[in-house]
Chain A
C-alpha cells in the first residue's frame, strides 16, 4: 500500500488538464477533456489496489490485488462506449450547425430578449 508519487502526480495532471478542457464550450475539447479525466479516474481506480506479481494461485511472493484490475477493465469499456456516443453527437451537432460549439440555451435567449426589448 505504498503511495506511488509518480502515479499520484500523473493522475493529478490528467485530472487538471481534463477539467481545463471540459470547461470549454467547444465540444471537441470537451471530448478530449473527458478522455483525459477518464484515464485519470481509471488510473486512480487501478492504483487503489496492492501491486505485486500476477495473482495466480500457487505463485510465490506478494500478488497484486485483482479486483481493481477487473473494475478498471469494466470502466475502460464504459469510457470507450461513451466516447463513441460523444463523437457521434458532436458530429451530428456539426452537421446541423457547422460549428463545434454547444448552441445557446433557449432560456438564455429569452432572458436576453426580455432585458433587451421587453418581450413579455
Chain B
C-alpha cells in the first residue's frame, strides 16, 4: 500500500511545484530552485515506482477510497512506469536547459511575467497524470491539463509569429478534445462505466457496429494528438516557432502521450480492432512525413517532419498487436522520446551560437563547435536507425514482429519502414553535411532575399530573419518593435556569430548531454531495456494483471 502512494505523489509534486513557482514569480532564483527540485523529487519517486512495478506487478490507487468502477483510479503498470521515468527525465533535462538559456538570453523579454516555470510544471503534471489515468475521463482531464499548459508555452511572449502558429494548434487541439469528450459520453451511455479495466469487459458485450463507432472516435481524438497522418499537418507548422526548450519537450512528450493513449485503448479496450487500417495509416505517416522532411531548409521544421514520420513506426507496432510487436513499440517509444528531444536541444544550441537554424546559412560547425557536432551526430544517427544505436534495435524488433505476422500488408509496411529509415538518414545527413561539415557559406551579411529584410514583415520566418538582419548594429534600439522583440537571442547572437563552444552555457550543454547519454544507455543496456519492454508487452497482451489489480482479484 505504501508504494501505491507514489502514484498520486508523482502527479502532485509538479502541481505543488507549479503553485510554489507561481508564488515565487518575483524571485527567479527561488522559482528555478522550486521547479528543478519538484521535478527531481518526482523523478526519484518514479524510479522507485518503476522498480516496484517491475518486481511486484501493477500499482493501483483509488483516490479518496472510492472503489474502482465508481471512483478515480490511478494505475501504473510496466508501460506507464517506463513512460513516466523517461518523460520526467526529459522534462527535467529540458527545464535545466531552459534555465541555462534564460540566464544568458535575458528571460524577462521572452516572457514578461515569469509564467514559464508554472506552465511547464503543470504540463509535466498533466503528462504524468495521463500515463497514470485508470479511467477515460481522467485521461481526458489530463489531456486538457497538458494541452492548456502547452497553449501557454507555445504562445509564450505572445509575439506575432507564435500567435500565428498558436491559433491553428489551439483550435485543432480543441477539436480533438471535443471528439474525445463526445466519445466518452457515448461510451458511458453504451456501457455505464468509464473505468478502463471495467470497460475491457463490458465493451466486448456491445454490438460490433457500435464498437466501430466508439473506437474510431477515440482513435481520431488520439490520432490528432499523436500527429498521425492525415491528422498531422498542424505539427510541423506549430512546433518550430516555439522556443528551443519548449519545442524539445513538446516533440519528446506530447505526441507520445497520444501514442500511449492509442496503445492503451488498442490493447485494453479494443484488442485487435482496425489492424489493417492502422498499418496502412502507419505506412502513410512514415512515408509522407519523411518526404516532407527532405523538402525542408530549416532544421527545426525538418526535425518536426521526422517526428511525424517516426510516429508511423509506433502506429505500425501497435497495429501488429502481437507481444513482439508491442515490445518493439514500447522500446521504440522510449528511444524516440529521448532521441527527438536530444536533437531539438542540440538544434537549440546551434541556434544559440549561430542565431539561425536555416541549413543554407549554416556551415563549418564541426570545426567551430566540435563538441556540439558530436552532440548532434549521435542522436542524428540514432534517429536514422544506424546500427548499433537503439533506433536500429527498435526497428529490427518492429520488422521481425511485422514479418512474423505473415500478412501481406505488414510486409509492405515493413518495406515502407525500411525506405523511410533510409530517407531519414538522407534528410539528417543533409543537415549534418551542410550545417556541420561544409565550410561556412559567405552569406552572413548578404541576405539572399533582400526584400525580406524589412523588419516589420509580419510573416513568420521572414520577419524573424529581418529582425536579425537589422540586429547587427541596433539590436537594443529596435528591440521594442513588435516584430523584433520576439527573438532577443537571435538579435543578440547576430553580433557575435561564429562563437565557439565556450559561449554556450554549461547547463544547456549538460542537459543535452544527459539526454544524448540516456539515448546511448538505451543502446548499451539494450538487453536490459528490451527485456523490460518485453515484460511490459506481456502485460499488455493479456491485461490480466492490469484488470485484476484495478478491480480486485474477486472478479
Contacts and interface: CB of A to CB of B under 8 A. Distances in A.
Pair from one complex: yes
Interface of A: 22, 27, 30, 34, 37-38, 41-42, 44-45, 47-49, 67-68, 71, 74-75, 78, 81-82, 85-86, 89, 92-93, 96-97, 102-107, 109, 119-120
A103 B188 contact: no
A15 B167 CA distance: 21
A62 to B, nearest CB: 15
Given A34-B174, A78-B141, A109-B459, A47 B160 contact: no
B11 interface: no
B163 A92 contact: yes
A71 B178 CA distance: 14
Contacts of B155: 89, 92
A37 B180 CA distance: 12
A46 to B, nearest CB: 8
B163 A89 contact: yes
Interface residues of B, number: 39
Contact of A85 (B151, B163, B175, B462): B151
B137 interface: yes
Given A81-B148, A119-B449, 5 more contacts: A71-B137, A89-B163, A97-B458, A102-B168, A104-B459
Given A89-B155, A89-B166, A82 B174 contact: yes
Interface in B174-205: 174-175, 178, 181-182, 184-186, 188-189, 194
A45 B181 contact: yes
A44 B160 contact: no
A93 B462 CA distance: 18
Contacts, number: 95
A22 B188 contact: no
B164 A102 contact: yes
Interface string B69-113: 010000000000000000000000000000000000000000000
Contacts of B182: 41, 44
A42 B168 CA distance: 23
Contacts of A81: 148
B527 interface: no
7 cross-chain pairs, A with B, having the tightest CB-CB distances, nearest first = A106-B460, A48-B189, A45-B185, A44-B185, A48-B188, A103-B164, A41-B181
B482 interface: yes
B29 interface: no
Interface string B423-465: 0000000000000000000000000010000000011111000
A41 B458 CA distance: 37
Interface string B309-331: 00000000000000000000000
A44 B194 CA distance: 15
B186 A22 contact: no
11 contacts: A30-B171, A41-B181, A44-B181, A44-B182, A45-B184, A67-B188, A78-B141, A93-B167, A103-B459, A106-B459, A106-B462
B52 interface: no
A21 B110 CA distance: 34
A48 B163 contact: no
Nearest to A120: B297
Contacts of B166: 89
Nearest to A65: B192
Most chain-B CB neighbours within 10 Å: which of A44, A47, A74, A81? A44
